[in-house]
Structure 1
């Protein structure tokens, strides 16, 4: 119980202390509010007095400024009036002097312009006359130039026509020669091909004849082998020999026409050998003549070679073809030339 009483007594003390503090705070707040109100009234009165003083000073300043500005404006107006009057007098005097000077200058300028106009008119008339004379001279020169050009063009045209005619004739002759050369070369090529075909045909016939002979011999050997085989098996030698001999004779009779052709062919070959033995020498001579002429003349055409060597067209074409195949000459634009490496005439043999 003692603790409870003690706590209650302390509680009452604390409450009493709180109430006393609250009373002090209220008194302090009331004092502060009263002081603030007093200070506010004092500040308001001071501001009101300061505003009144400032308004009075401003009014005095504006009144003084207005008076000063009025006085300055009156002085400035007087000065402006005086300046305007003096400027008007000076302007009138300047305009009078300027008018006099302008009249004098206008008179002098008009006089100078009149003199310049007279001089310009005279100069213009002179220039017009000179230009007219120049135009007439140019017309005459142009007419003379056109006449001379026309005559020169006519002469040039006639000369060109003559040259063109000569060139056309030469071209026609060259084309005709070239066509003849091609025709001869084609004919020679056809003969060569025909000869090759004939030789090939003869060779094929000979090979066929050889095959027939081999076949006949093989057939005879086959019959003999059959005869021997039958003799060994059957022993009928005489009968088989007679039959085999008859068959072999019949097979030989079938090939007699081919065998008869062989002597004729050999005889033709024997007759053709002397001509073929002479022909290569003549061909070599012709080739040598053609080659020497080409080398001496540093190139020539077919017609020139034919006329210089006195050979026929066929012989000339054959010789040129042989030389081209051997590489002794070259052909460029229907012109036959010798090789640059060949320095001395060579003996061409076939």
Structure 2
């Protein structure tokens, strides 16, 4: 290990000596190169200065020679230019003189030709004026002849027209009178048919109203019976909860329910314009079935007795005036009240039908604008009238069907 270390130290000192020698050699080379470079730069600067001095001297000599040559050439060129200008002026004078002579000759020829053309045109204009005057005279004569013929024909046509009018006036008068008689007869027949149809519809409405009245009376009877059942159940519950004598309601002293009498409107003799067909009354809506007697008579459990008694004491019983006549123990039904005749007459359908009849057809937008109704009302009324075969639709226009029986 010591020998290796000594060997390594010797090699290390050798390497350091070589590095120092190489560094000295490099420094010497750099100093030598720098001195050579400075010497070379000085030599180049001296050469360039000499070259610049030579160029300046040569340029000055060349400029002097060129200036002398130009000064020598100025006088001959000025003389040549003056000679050329004089020659151009002479040539221009000769050319202008020849042009003026030719122009004078052509102007004289053109003037002579224009004078001849003016004479010819004046002669032609005179001839044309004479021809136009003659044609105007002929046209005026033709116009006068045509006016005379037209006046004669108009007089003949007026006479023929008066004769035809005199011949056709009696037949036209008779035709108009016959047509008026036929129209009056047709109107009377239509009025009779409408009155008959109105009477039939009135009778139908009366029968429907009577049936509805009977149905309403039966429903009030059912309501009275149901009320008595409720009163009996209440008495039974009160007896079960509180004890004591059972209170029975007398069956013969039930008050009679008062209902407004339904009066039928008087039948109209004439219908102007034609009203829509009377709608049939809607059937009475069915209500939920009432609890059976067994369910109504079932006693309340004991644990709910105080609650039921409190409800019975706090809730008042609605007093419903029922008719005296008894009825079957059926569930009460909700009664659909028949519409009032004045409301039916002034309904949207009749208004729409009357407007279509008077206007002889209209569009949906026109109905909305003229009647001040919305789109839904107009569509519903038109759909109902179409279903009743009173109105037909043709090309987005709604028309009244004339053969409909009212």
| Bigger fraction of residues in helix | 1
TM-score by length of 1: 0.46
TM-score by length of 2: 0.41
Between structure 1 and structure 2, the one with the greater Rg is 1
